[in-house]
Chains A and B, each alone.
Chain A
Amino acid sequence: MGVLAMSEESNIDLYRRRFLGATASAAAGLAVAPGVLLTEVASAKPDDQAVTSDVRWGMLIDTNMCNNGCDDCVTACNEEHNLEGFGRPSTDAQWIRKVTLKDKHTGFVQTLPMLCQHCEHPPCVDVCPTGASFKRADGIVLVDKHICIGCRYCMMACPYKARSFIHEQLHDQVPYAPRGKGTVESCTFCVHRVDEGITPACVEACSAENHNAMTFGDMNDPDSDISQQLKQYSSRQVRADLELNTGVRYRGI
């Protein structure tokens, strides 16, 4: 019974693997522009395989292409995870937000999306007393809400103010983005999509509208689009002085 069960399980995943392999080859011919291609994100890993540090997920945001009035990435994220607002901006959760910057001395104005930077040395992971805030092997920083006690120390520690605390009872969570009262959350790099070989919702939305300000990919793969862009163009981390080696890099700041 047990053996049969095991093979049943892996067969279902075998089909998933083949499906995504099929789509990759089909879509390769349909590639319109970087970012639209769903499985640009390397080949999806099989369901029963653990993530490894062979991959390091990263994002490159080109602020020169980021429109001042646009917040497609924010809308996409809110819809993807059903981040219901309660009309209380000070306590409503925000996983990604548009930030408008005006240089105090020159007056230059630009906007960019700010989200969890998925640092390599995350302060939020260092300070969490229970270890609920953790970094996955592939670099994605997550909150294990099963052991989060809601102390909010990680929110104090994050230099990017990426984390939100859930201040009220929630009822309409989507299945792949569990979130609940009294725990802390932040951008997950759409880990549920990434594990299935699909780019995060924000990046997809940005590309769908052809703004092409966001690129997502494996920074450990020298042939990936993001690695090539990082090598070719100047980019930097926000608060690079903290030496956290963030997974999110920006061009044009």
Chain B
Amino acid sequence: MKQLEFKEIDGGKPFYMMLGFMGLFILAALGAAWYMEHNGHWVTGMNNQIVWGTPHVFAVFLIVAASGALNVASISSVFNKAAYKPLARLSGLLAIALLVGGLAVLVLDLGRPDRLIVAMTYYNFKSIFAWNIMLYTGFMAVVGIYLWMMMERKMNRFTRLAGFSAFIWRLVLTTGTGSIFGFLVAREAYDTAILAPMFIIMSFSFGLAIFILVLMGMYKWSDRPLGDSILFRLKNLLGVFVASVLYFVIAYHLTNLYITENHGVERFILLDGGVYTRLFWIVQIGLGSLLPLALLYHPATGKSRGWIGLASLLVIIGGLAQMYVIIIGGQAYPLEIFPGKEVISSFADGIVGSYAPSLPEVILGIGGVALALAATFVGVRVLRFMPASLADEDVDPHYSATEAEATA
């Protein structure tokens, strides 16, 4: 294996144009946030029944994906897989960038975003949300230190320790994120311990899918070679993660289907919930899990970059749908305050909550994605996150020149 060289991407006009393009989305998101904050949340689709809407779907997705994006670095540092070592820096950068994007959306959707300082200085330590605030900010510091250990030659001997700390930190963080929902007794769709590990495995899947797309995109953009060996390892791993998420989803629903008191919410999600049922079966399961599995492992498509990219994109779309069903579908199903009774009131008791994503919410969510991508872009321009070449001959530990010629 040749000596690995990391290099910044080139600047110049294309770079600034791309940055400007993302900047437009970020500006739009800031405008949307101002509009929502200034007029009050009545201008959004969120109401007293569905209190967390599209911004939270995007924010939680980005935060979950952020912790998963660090997976590649963890595999290299914690599990000592040499093949992944060249990717570790980009993985760390992407993790921080996605987290920043997600947090920005979350904070801007608060009823009082001007009170961010209050959120960072008054803590109720019984609240998992409070713990998450500390875990998220700490994550950025921990990954920052991890990147420093990796990127400064003198500190390379601490990379393993930093990587291990980051790995544990992100497991705690994602468990915390899943527990935001898992700890709630009020709603039938939540109130379960399985949400914590399910969010962990979801993070693996979404984070890796985003990493693959960013990797392919960045190397195409900067005209650098990206060899098959790396890409195929990643796509096989993605397949494993997608299948694992599917397993957790099956376990969750099977358990609920057995428990009589949860039949109502299961019927809602799986059968007659309208948009939520369609999102679950068609987008989350079909497009987001089964189709990518087929594309990633089928011999006809599994070796093609185009199909791999499409599969990753489908995983992301399926992930967003899964978040939508969990967060919004979980709120839409009415609270069972009086089991066994039909309930009518002036406060939408007993009926499915109505929600439609409003434009400001969607723009805010997309702005978060744009912020994450822009941050990644600036990162790879300014510092040496990306290897100059990821061609097989440069990075594959099992590469053999004669073998490659034979199969060519």
Interface string of A101-143 (1 = CB under 8 A from B): 1111100000000100000000101111111100000000000
Q: Name the B residues within 8 Å of A13 (CB-CB).
A: none
Q: Is there an interface contact between A159 and B111, defined as CB atoms closer than 8 Å? A: no
Instruction: Give the number of A-B contacts (CB < 8 Å).
Output: 172
Q: Closest CB-CB distance, A131 to chain B, in whole Å?
A: 4
Q: Closest CB-CB distance, B333 to chain A, in whole Å?
A: 12
B235 at the interface (CB under 8 A from A): no
Which residues between 339 and 367 of chain B lie within 8 Å of chain A, taking CB atoms?
A: 340-349, 354
Q: Is there an interface contact between B122 and A167, defined as CB atoms closer than 8 Å? A: no
The listed residue with most B CB atoms (<10 A of its CB), out of A86, A97, A153, is: A153
Q: Is there an interface contact between B124 and A129, defined as CB atoms closer than 8 Å? A: yes
Q: How far is the CA of A131 from the CA of B119 in the complex (A)?
A: 10
A152-B111 in contact given A86-B42, A101-B341 (Cβ < 8 Å)? yes
Number of interface residues of B (CB under 8 A): 48
Q: Closest CB-CB distance, A85 to chain B, in whole Å?
A: 10
Q: How far is the CA of A130 from the CA of B39 in the complex (A)?
A: 24
Q: Name the B residues within 8 Å of A239 (CB-CB).
A: 337
Q: How far is the CA of A91 from the CA of B39 in the complex (A)?
A: 13
Q: Name the B residues within 8 Å of A128 (CB-CB).
A: 124, 127, 129
Q: Is there an interface contact between B111 and A182, defined as CB atoms closer than 8 Å? A: yes
Q: Name the B residues within 8 Å of A31 (CB-CB).
A: none
Q: Is there an interface contact between B127 and A90, defined as CB atoms closer than 8 Å? A: no
Partner of A168, one of B40, B180, B347: B40
Number of interface residues of A (CB under 8 A): 57
Q: Closest CB-CB distance, A145 to chain B, in whole Å?
A: 9
Q: Is there an interface contact between B51 and A130, defined as CB atoms closer than 8 Å? A: no
Q: Is there an interface contact between B127 and A152, defined as CB atoms closer than 8 Å? A: no
Q: Is there an interface contact between B39 and A101, defined as CB atoms closer than 8 Å? A: no
Interface string of B79-107 (1 = CB under 8 A from A): 00000000000000000000000000000
Mind listing 10 A-B residue pairs with CB under 8 Å?
Answer: A90-B348, A102-B342, A103-B340, A105-B340, A130-B130, A149-B110, A149-B119, A167-B42, A168-B41, A183-B112
A175 at the interface (CB under 8 A from B): no
Q: Is there an interface contact between A159 and B41, defined as CB atoms closer than 8 Å? A: no
Q: Is there an interface contact between A157 and B110, defined as CB atoms closer than 8 Å? A: no
Q: Name the A residues within 8 Å of B331 (CB-CB).
A: 156
B258 at the interface (CB under 8 A from A): no
A98 at the interface (CB under 8 A from B): yes
Q: Closest CB-CB distance, B113 to chain A, in whole Å?
A: 8
A165 at the interface (CB under 8 A from B): yes
Q: Name the B residues within 8 Å of A132 (CB-CB).
A: 122
Partner of A169, one of B40, B123, B186, B348: B40
A161 at the interface (CB under 8 A from B): yes
B335 at the interface (CB under 8 A from A): yes
Q: Name the B residues within 8 Å of A123 (CB-CB).
A: 184-186
A97-B338 in contact given A123-B184, A148-B111, A151-B110 (Cβ < 8 Å)? no
Q: Closest CB-CB distance, A124 to chain B, in whole Å?
A: 9
A94 at the interface (CB under 8 A from B): yes
Q: Closest CB-CB distance, A238 to chain B, in whole Å?
A: 6
Q: How far is the CA of A26 from the CA of B381 in the complex (A)?
A: 82
B3 at the interface (CB under 8 A from A): no
A150 at the interface (CB under 8 A from B): yes
The listed residue with most B CB atoms (<10 A of its CB), out of A88, A91, A93, A130, is: A130
Q: How far is the CA of A62 from the CA of B116 in the complex (A)?
A: 44
Residue of A with least CB distance to B338: A101
Which residues between 220 and 239 of chain A lie within 8 Å of chain B, taking CB atoms?
A: 238-239
A201 at the interface (CB under 8 A from B): no
B402 at the interface (CB under 8 A from A): no
Which residues between 38 and 89 of chain B lie within 8 Å of chain A, taking CB atoms?
A: 39-42, 47-49, 51-52
